[in-house]
């Protein structure tokens, strides 16, 4: 449990650091780029820090984000590795940050998400009687809204 908490905080830190590096690179590189383009590129990168924040807040409640985070990080790693193999440029963001740094951030995030997912599964198996609150509310609502039949 303690390792999972440390990994959640590390995941959030890495994701926030990565978006800050990206924003700095966009500002430094895009002298003539439009504001709309910068917002378009920046908004897409904020999804992972927001998921990491929600996982830090309550990883059991937001456990559905873990497969999305794992899939996104896996895709990101393969995209950067494909870039390195097939591009003619030495770096994606010229001279600012190396791809190995980005890949190492994503590898850490992927490993952390897998450990957190395993911990959440263990927590869920330890407490099978505790159903998610939404499912309990839904079942109560369905039972209370049954049409009453007249008995004559």
**Residue from 85, 81, 84, 77 nearest 110 by CA:** 77
Cβ(19)–Cβ(45) below 8 Å: yes
Assigned domain for 80 exists: yes
Assigned domain for 72 exists: yes
Assigned domain for 143 exists: no
Assigned domain for 116 exists: yes
Domain that holds residue 97: 2-124
Band (136; pLDDT cuts 50, 70, 90)? very low
Express each pLDDT in 81-100 by its tens digit: 887 787 766 565 555 567 77
Task: Report pLDDT for 86.
Answer: 79
Higher pLDDT, 35 or 78: 78
- C-alpha span between 143 and 1 (Å, rounded): 37
To the nearest whole number, what is the mean pLDDT of the chain?
75
Assigned domain for 147 exists: no
Assigned domain for 104 exists: yes
- C-alpha span between 140 and 82 (Å, rounded): 51
Q: What is the pTM of this model?
A: 0.69
Task: Report pLDDT for 16.
Answer: 87
Assigned domain for 132 exists: no
Mean pLDDT of 100-111: 86
Q: Which of 28-32, 60-64, 88-92, 129-133 has the highest mean pLDDT?
A: 60-64
Residues 6+ apart with CB under 8 A from 35: none
Mean pLDDT of 59-67: 89
Assigned domain for 111 exists: yes
Domain count of the chain? 1
Higher pLDDT, 133 or 21: 21
Task: Report pLDDT for 129.
Answer: 56
């Amino acid at each position: 449990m303690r390792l999972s908490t440390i990994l959640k905080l590390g995941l959030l830190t890495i994701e926030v650091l990565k978006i800050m590096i990206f924003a700095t690179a966009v500002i430094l590189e895009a002298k003539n780029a439009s504001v709309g383009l910068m917002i378009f590129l920046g908004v897409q990168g904020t999804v992972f820090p927001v998921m990491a924040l929600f996982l830090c807040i309550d990883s059991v409640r937001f456990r559905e984000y873990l497969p999305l985070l794992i899939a996104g990080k896996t895709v990101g790693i393969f995209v950067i590795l494909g870039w390195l193999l097939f591009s003619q440029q030495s770096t994606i963001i010229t001279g600012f940050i190396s791809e190995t740094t980005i890949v190492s951030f994503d590898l850490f995030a992927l490993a952390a998400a897998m450990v957190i997912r395993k911990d959440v599964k263990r927590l869920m198996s330890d407490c099978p009687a505790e159903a998610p609150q939404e499912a309990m509310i839904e079942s109560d609502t369905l039972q209370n809204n049954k049409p009453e039949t007249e008995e004559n």
